[in-house]
Amino acid sequence: MGPKVFLNTAGFIKIDTSSLNENTVNYIEVLDGSRIHPETYEWARKMAVDALEYDETTEDANPSAALEEILESPERLKDLDLDAFAEELERQGYGNKRTTLYDIRDELFGRYKDRRPPYREMSVDERFRLLTGETRETLHYGKLVTCIVTGFAYRKPNRDRLDSADPVKDDETGLWQCPFCTNNTFTDLSEVWTHFDNGSCPGQIVGVRMRLENGINGFIPTKMISDKHIKSPQDRVKIGLMVHCRVTKINVERFQVDLTCRSSDLEDRDAKYSKLKDTYFDQPAEDRDKKAIKDAQKKANRPSYMKRVIVHPVFQNIAFKDAEKKLAGMEQGECIVRPSSKGSDHLTVTWKVDEGIYQHIDIKEQGKKNAFSLGKSLWIENEEFEDLDEIIARHIQPMATLARDVLTHRYYKDTEGGSRTIMQEHLKTEKTKNPKRIPYFLSSTKECPGKFILGYMPRTKARIEFVSVTPDGYKYRGRIHATLNALFKWFKEHFRDPIPGVSPRQRSTGGTETNTPYTPGDFTPARDSTPRGSTPRTTPQVDPSKILPQLRQAFPGGVLKDPQMYTNLAAAVAQQSPQTSRAQYPQFGYTQQFSQQYQQPTYSR
């Protein structure tokens, strides 16, 4: 190999100088066994001599010997000022060789040493950043993002669910519907089962598939699409729609995020999705600012009251909260008349039902001279009054007296403002003491001021109903009772009757004791054959032979010739009531068609 070829290939070949020294007596350049280029050998020797601090004017300053010594102890090269050496070379016209000098020193520290850092696998976060360009700071929990709907996610039903499936037929269209994918284009029930067997049913929709702007896949569960209940996500979104979402979970390993687009989550009024604050964040200052904003909003939304010019001992120009504060120190039944937020033609009377419970009653004014004066006629619902004194005497005081009777009654229980849980505990305690009795209690309630809850336990479940206090008496199930004794008497006789406005299905399916408020107390109804929901009565002892005249009077004679018909009617009279009407006739299993003259009736079972 010639000198020119060697110079051109010196950076790509490796020469083992140590083995050459063993096989030859010729001089071997020690730098040939390094990655230092032959054109810079002199600079390497110069660095070795300077590091060993040899005097170049003496014979002992042998550059080759100095180089071999430096290769054995290269630590002394750290003391060299290579920057000054590079400046000197640049002044001599060699150009900027600072990088070359540092590479020479590194090579003298270890020939052919791999200067690269050891291989290390990328972490999950680094791989996520390289492929998506996102970090934990740029994509975090609670971040608002915009996404595109790419499809819907389905959950295929397993074999057990398919076997127990119950397809539904639309009576209007006559088509069958799949209970999983809600496909309603099947003309026959067999097509639905074929739809299951061939695997064409994708299953129930469980969410929406999304794609973020950075290419990451997202998923919105069905329950996170809206604050309201929706049957299918297809009712709210469609493919290609852009949706504003908030990140709820990040899976960096699968490059997927869970999202929500509910309005409450997007607003985030409770700061549920806010970023974590650093240690220097002034949280008390933020709380003060939020409180100031909330107070300002309350003040702006506070109802305005027009001050009135009314001279009366119970009238005061105050708001309802101030009225409740004043009534807190007064006796039960006291009242205050004040301006109403409904306008200048309304007043409000606030009276104290119980401690901490106040009822506000609206008064409509008519015949006003001006906005500040009192109207000539005052109306509470459909009842007219001449003045405030009449309202207090005929409306407020009777209700206060009735409420006072309830509060002092022996069956009144304090339930801390109408807590149904406490009421149920009282009822269970009494039921445990005497299982044969039906305990019942009354209690005031903050939920409905002016009403009392009536709780009772016929069997194992407590039931709750409301009793309203009116000027005419206690209103219960649409009936007015003048006294508590009259109320309890009627209640004990009719507590099993259907509640007005509540269907039997609502009564039977109620999971708690609050769906059907019934309440007997010291009274235990007799167990008889009275159907549930009917009025309980005692069973009279009636001889069927003595009621034959009644049956002949109520029904045509031809009907009574049938022995079984006669037995059923006799049993009905004995068990239900002293007299059975024609309207009750079909309920015993017969259909009756009478002629106009009630002669020779025909009936069929």
User: Exposed e or buried b for every residue in 237-268, given b needs 16+ CB within 10 A?
Assistant: beeeeebebbbbebebeebbbbbbbbeebeee
pLDDT of 598: 36
Distance CA 353, CA 305 (A): 24
Decide: helix, strand or coil at residue 321.
Answer: helix
Mean pLDDT per 10-residue run, the chain (605 residues)? 82 78 74 87 89 71 81 86 91 92 90 85 91 90 94 89 85 87 86 86 90 94 91 90 94 94 89 77 87 86 81 92 93 94 92 95 93 92 93 95 95 92 94 92 93 94 94 94 94 89 52 37 36 38 52 53 58 47 42 39 35
Looking at the domain 126-267, which fold is it?
OB fold (Dihydrolipoamide Acetyltransferase, E2P) (2.40.50)
Distance CA 491, CA 489 (A): 5
Q: Please name the residue that has the structure tokens 């295929």.
A: 156
CATH class belonging to 320-397: alpha beta
What DSSP assignment string belongs to 384-442? EESSHHHHIIIIIHHHHHHHHHHHTSTTB---TTT-HHHHHHHHHHHHHH-TTS--EEE
Beta bridge partners of 153: 207
Distance CA 193, CA 178 (A): 9
Question: Could you give the count of Cα atoms lying within 13 Å of 469 in the half-sphere of its Cβ?
Answer: 32
Strand ordering across the sheet containing 377-380:
335-339, 346-354, 357-366, 377-380, 383-385
pLDDT of 339: 93
Q: How far is CA 6 from CA 16, 17, 399, in A?
A: 15, 15, 118
Contact 414, 408 (CB under 8 A): no
Question: Could you give the count of Cα atoms lying within 13 Å of 104 in the half-sphere of its Cβ?
Answer: 27
Q: What's the farthest any 2 CA atoms get from each other in the chain?
A: 158
Q: Pick the closest to residue 264 from 256, 255, 273 (CA basis).
A: 273
| Helix-helix angle 82-91:98-109, to 10 degrees | 140
Distance CA 519, CA 463 (A): 7
Would you state the torsion angle of the CA atoms of residues 596, 601, 604, 605, taken in this order, to the nearest 10 degrees? 110
The residue type of 471 is P
User: Do β-strands 176-177 and 168-169 pair in parallel, antiparallel, or remain unpaired?
Assistant: antiparallel
Rg of the chain over Cα atoms, rounded to whole angstroms, equals 48
Strands, DSSP E only, in 477-605?
A: 479-481, 591-593, 602-604
pTM comes to: 0.43
What DSSP assignment string belongs to 447-473? SSTTEEEEEE-SSSS-EEEEEEEETTE
Options 1.10.357.10, 1.10.10.2740, 3.90.700.10, 3.40.640.10; CATH of 3-109: 1.10.10.2740
Distance CA 558, CA 115 (A): 119
- The reply to whether domains 3-109 and 126-267 share a CATH topology is no
Distance CA 15, CA 35 (A): 10
Distance CA 206, CA 228 (A): 16
Contact 318, 336 (CB under 8 A): yes
- 132-135: long-range contacts at Cβ-Cβ below 8 A with a sequence spacing of 24 or more? 132/214, 132/215, 132/216, 132/255, 133/214, 134/214, 134/216
For the chain, the helix, strand and coil percentages under 3-state DSSP, each to the nearest 5: 35, 20, 45
Tokens encoding 232: 């299918």
CATH class belonging to 409-494: alpha beta
Q: Pick the closest to residue 441 from 468, 471, 469, 410 (CA basis).
A: 410
pLDDT of 593: 42
User: Do β-strands 217-221 and 256-260 pair in parallel, antiparallel, or remain unpaired?
Assistant: parallel
> H helices then E strands: how many in the chain?
19, 19
Q: How far is CA 78 from CA 70, 74, 380, in A?
A: 11, 8, 102
Beta bridge partners of 149: 210
Distance CA 427, CA 424 (A): 5
| Helix-helix angle 82-91:41-52, to 10 degrees | 130
- Cα 67–chain centre separation: 78
Tokens encoding 418: 């109408």
Contact 104, 45 (CB under 8 A): no
3-state SS record for 196-252: HHCCCCCCEEEEEEEEECCCCEEEEEHHHCCCCCCCCHHHCCCCCCEEEEEEEEEEC
Tokens encoding 452: 């009392």
What are the structural domain ranges in the chain? 3-109, 126-267, 320-397, 409-494
Q: How far apart are the first and last CA of the chain?
A: 125
Contact 415, 503 (CB under 8 A): no
Q: Pick the closest to residue 439 from 452, 456, 425 (CA basis).
A: 456
pLDDT of 60: 59
